[in-house]
Structure 1
């Protein structure tokens, strides 16, 4: 029995290590993308990752978490800024309270796309999972997606 338990523990450890290693893989960011980020956000310390095939820069603005997504040609597709829940449009707060009464907003963000279109994101916990509830600039519900 001890051998079976030991084998299971080793297999679990190897699986966990492999997943952690994959998440921490270095991303090779093209110079054109780095240059575009530096032009848009001079002097910011950045951590690079990937998002849906694009390059995601994670950094801070005035102490708040932010991220910017660039394509491989250095075109900035969107910027996401963490905001306080109270900064969400009132319609968002009412919608979440009405439609997800047992859920609490755990994080809020304002997303600005490359055409200056604004979307708001309210992250909630529901059934043990995290979900992003998306709204337009006026606070009108767009959709809910499982978070990461």
Structure 2
């Protein structure tokens, strides 16, 4: 009987992963956090992590949840001018001749809010991450 239950569990988990349909715990947590989301599409982000891409309050957003429905992070693209002043100053001080091609605001359950900036200079590109106070956390 235990083997049968284990086999059924594995089949259910695999079928959800292949069908790109998250478990009910994830769908419920998502609906609670983003009740008015539209155009939702799901993908598998990792072995026990799901990512939803959707529109919420006029913005295109992605959010990640663990299999048990725990929210992990939310990422939204923002305009470069909407970056915190300290982040813009940090970027300009070290990369004044680079162009900001994309900026994202990521809220995480572990690290709080992080701002990611993608830069381009000719054929070179670089991705950076900062805390709101302009402190670099990834260069």
TM-score (norm 1): 0.69
Secondary structure of 2:117's aligned partner: strand
Contact 2:86–2:132 under 8 Å retained in 1:
no
Unmatched 5+ residue regions in structure 2?
1-17
Inter-CA distance 29–127: structure 2 relative to 1 (3 Å threshold) = farther
Name the count of aligned residue pairs.
120
Unmatched 5+ residue regions in structure 1?
1-24
Query: Which residue number in structure 2 is paired with residue 135 of structure 1?
Result: 130
Shift of 1:120: 0.9
Query: Which residue number in structure 1 is paired with residue 44 of structure 2?
Result: 50
Shift of 1:135: 0.4
Is 1:29 equivalent to 2:22 in the alignment? yes
Contact 2:41–2:52 under 8 Å retained in 1:
yes
Give runs of ≥4 in structure 1 deviating > 6 Å: none
Contact 2:36–2:56 under 8 Å retained in 1:
no
Identify the structure with bigger relative contact order (alpha carbons < 8 Å, sequence gap 6+). 2
TM-score (norm 2): 0.73
Please provide the CA RMSD for this pair.
2.2
Contact 1:120–1:139 under 8 Å retained in 2:
no
One of 75, 78, 81 as aligned partner of 1:80: 75
Secondary structure of 1:73's aligned partner: coil
